Amino acid sequence: MKRSNIILLSVLAIVLLWGVSTYNGLISINQEVKKTWANVESAYQRRNDLVNQLIDVVKQASNYEKSTLEAVVNARASATQVKLDINDLTPEKMQQFQAAQQSLSGALGRLLAISENYPNLKAMEQYGKLQNSIEETENRIKKERDIFNETVARFNVKVKKLPTALIAGFMGYSEKPMFQAEAGTEKAPDVGSRFNN
């Protein structure tokens, strides 16, 4: 065999090995993104389940604020209707999902805040446990979103770097959106004015 043929076969073997290794790396990181997204969905599902239980407990208490409870029920319904497919994740769809979840968080926060006005509701042991569970779940949601964002950041770097971007493009992989901070959170709250009034 000629030396030039050996060199050519060696180069082809190296390119083939690099291609297979890159392909497998992209598959692995894409599966990691899917797994972390499933964890985010699981955390949101846990919150939805707890909200159902909380609604039932609040209904048992007399004189609760019906409009606030209805806002939670409606926000929960909206939040559960927005579904995201990790394989078709666009910034617009991620924004819709976030908006629905933020709406539920706001309504839920108002519902939990009114418990201060209803001693019989605050005194219910089941309400207290649910309130603690929801707070823990909100923390878990934040943690899972952070992990998802870290994973997506690694994925996005990988699919954009050359020469891996060539194989990523061939496989149909493109940059995925991440969770963004809520609008207005970039501004520090003005707590001083509250104390001056």
Domains of the chain, residue spans: 3-177
Instruction: Count CB atoms within 10 A of the CB of residue 77.
Output: 12
Check residue 61 and report its DSSP letter.
Answer: S
Percent of the chain clearing pLDDT 70 (strictly above): 88
Task: State the pLDDT at residue 77.
Answer: 84
CATH architecture of 3-177: Up-down Bundle (1.20)
Give the ranges where 61-124 is alpha helix by DSSP (H): 66-81, 91-114, 119-122
Of 181, 157, 178, nearest to 168 by C-alpha is: 157
This prediction has a pTM of 0.77
Of 86, 106, 72, 94, nearest to 33 by C-alpha is: 86
Cα-only R_g, the chain: 24
- The answer, yes or no, to whether residue 193 has pLDDT greater than 60, is no
> pLDDT-derived band of residue 8, with 50, 70 and 90 as boundaries?
confident
Residue 158 structure tokens:
């990988």
